[in-house]
A and B are shown apart, each in its own frame.
Chain A
Amino acid sequence: MPVDLEIVSPEKLLLSRPVDMVVIPAAEGELGVLPRHSPMIVLLRGGTIRLYDGAQVAEQLFVSGGFAEITPARVTVLADEAIPVASVSRAEGEKRLAAAQADYDSADKMDIAAIDAAMDRLQSARAMIEAAQAA
């Protein structure tokens, strides 16, 4: 019994198909989801979603952040942005890293929300560069 995986971006439905297992980059560590997983709603950090057919990685997509809803039969990923790993651009990742670094440096160190936001972006940009290297 496979899991129905859906990856949706604000602009369109990117992918909808059954997979045997999916690994998603949750905010507190990677999460491997098999069928009949208990219901969860998780926050995502920047990272790679890996789709498994059997024991093989069938597809990899980079997401820059978002949310996922997990139910026993289905996984819905609401991605801010999702790109197949093969077409992730390293240059774009580095551009974002530089922008995030600049935001982090200029942010008021007492403003925890701003620091957190900048750190999330730093992490997401680093994950993007990693994804580009892995491809």
Chain B
Amino acid sequence: MPSLKTLRMRIASVKSTQKITSAMKMVAASKLRRAQTQAEAARPYAERMERMLAALAANVAGSPTAPKLLVGNGKDKVHLLVPVTGDRGLAGAFNSSVGRLARATARRLESEGKTVKILSVGRKGRDYLRRDFASGIVGDVTFAGRKSIGFADAHAIAERIVAMQEAGEFDVCTLIYNRFASVISQIPTETRLIPLPVPEQKHDETVGAKAIYEYEPDEETILARLLPQNLAIQIYRALLENAAGFYGAQMTAMDNATRNAGDMIKRLSQNYNRARQANITKELIEIISGAEAV
């Protein structure tokens, strides 16, 4: 039976933990709102970009001169994985679920005799994968200590991937990130970046089923500019979803921690009161039996 003093100390320490977790929950909630707004603001560009790309890609997909960013280089030997994770922990299984998916994918590719390279975005993903694939990590990017991420950050990563492709360092590129399904649910997802799966041309009531566009200067010049931009947009979207998902996961984790701390305080206080009552009863018995003996 722990003494009254140790019980009092444990209650105090759990209470201060609870204060911290509930503050972190509040901070995560406000950051989540900001991240969600940013993600929503970025959606229109991505949607319109996809629409243009669908029209363009349908035109050049079959041609032998189609850009490499669109159709790849025809090989399937070296895979570049780009796992996107948070830079910090205390967010439940958020980071490790991406890490796990990346590891499973890398293992599967290796067992098929392919080479795996990893360009990790986010500190936690790098730390997770370093244990098993230290030699495969060709680079990493972190935003640790940064307040917010902008399109320029995504653009820089995209440029790096384009340069790597031009140098022939990989054949297929896949992005792995947590898709933001809701505040409590983030789904680790793989998205192929290169070669790009051609988006379906959607029906558009203003121009008819399949619009026939005129291109100026020409399809290939436009695609040469559009594809790197699209790559940057895909990465930007992943970064934003990752940020929103991270704060969502952190909020949930901290909410659970706060509740657990509350339960623990309740249990400890009960023990404390019981022990205190037992002490009083014991003292009373001693006094009464002492008085009777006189």
* CB under 8 Å from chain A, chain B span 132-153: 150-151
Nearest residue in A to B150 (C-beta to C-beta)? A11
Interface size class on chain A is 20 to 34
On whether the beta carbons of B206 and A38 are closer than 8 Å, the reply is: no
B-side contacts of A40, CB under 8 Å: 213-216
Interface size class on chain B is 20 to 34
A-side contacts of B45, CB under 8 Å: 8-13, 78
On whether the beta carbons of A71 and B48 are closer than 8 Å, the reply is: no
* Also in contact, A69 and B226, with CB within 8 A (given A10-B233, A13-B44): no
| Most A Cβ at <10 Å: residue of B55, B216, B221 | B216
- A67 CA to B236 CA in the complex, in Å? 18
Interface membership of B12, Cβ < 8 A: no
* CB under 8 Å from chain A, chain B span 231-258: 232-233, 236
Interface contacts (Cβ under 8 Å), in number, total: 83
Interface membership of B211, Cβ < 8 A: yes
On whether the beta carbons of A78 and B49 are closer than 8 Å, the reply is: yes
- A27 CA to B226 CA in the complex, in Å? 14
Nearest residue in A to B155 (C-beta to C-beta)? A10
B-side contacts of A43, CB under 8 Å: 216-217, 221-222, 225
Interface membership of A73, Cβ < 8 A: yes
A-facing mask of B14-47, CB < 8 A → 1, else 0?
0000000000000000000000001001101100
- A76 CA to B225 CA in the complex, in Å? 17
* CB under 8 Å from chain B, chain A span 19-69: 26-28, 31, 38-43, 67, 69
- A73 CA to B211 CA in the complex, in Å? 13
Nearest residue in B to A26 (C-beta to C-beta)? B216
Looking at chain A's contact residues, the main secondary structure is strand
- A27 CA to B216 CA in the complex, in Å? 8
On whether the beta carbons of B222 and A41 are closer than 8 Å, the reply is: yes
On whether the beta carbons of B213 and A39 are closer than 8 Å, the reply is: yes
- A71 CA to B213 CA in the complex, in Å? 8
Set A27, A38, A67: member contacting B52, Cβ < 8 A: A67
B-side contacts of A27, CB under 8 Å: 216-217, 221
13 contacts between A and B (CB under 8 A): A6-B48, A9-B45, A9-B151, A10-B42, A10-B45, A11-B150, A27-B216, A39-B214, A43-B217, A67-B229, A71-B204, A71-B206, A80-B229
Q: Which residues of B contact A (CB under 8 A)?
A: 38, 41-42, 44-45, 48-49, 51-52, 55-56, 150-151, 204, 206-207, 211-217, 221-222, 225-226, 229, 232-233, 236
Q: Which residues of A contact B (CB under 8 A)?
A: 6, 8-13, 26-28, 31, 38-43, 67, 69, 71-74, 76, 78, 80
Which 8 A-B pairs give the minimum distances between C-beta atoms? A12-B41, A10-B151, A13-B44, A42-B216, A73-B206, A40-B214, A8-B45, A39-B213
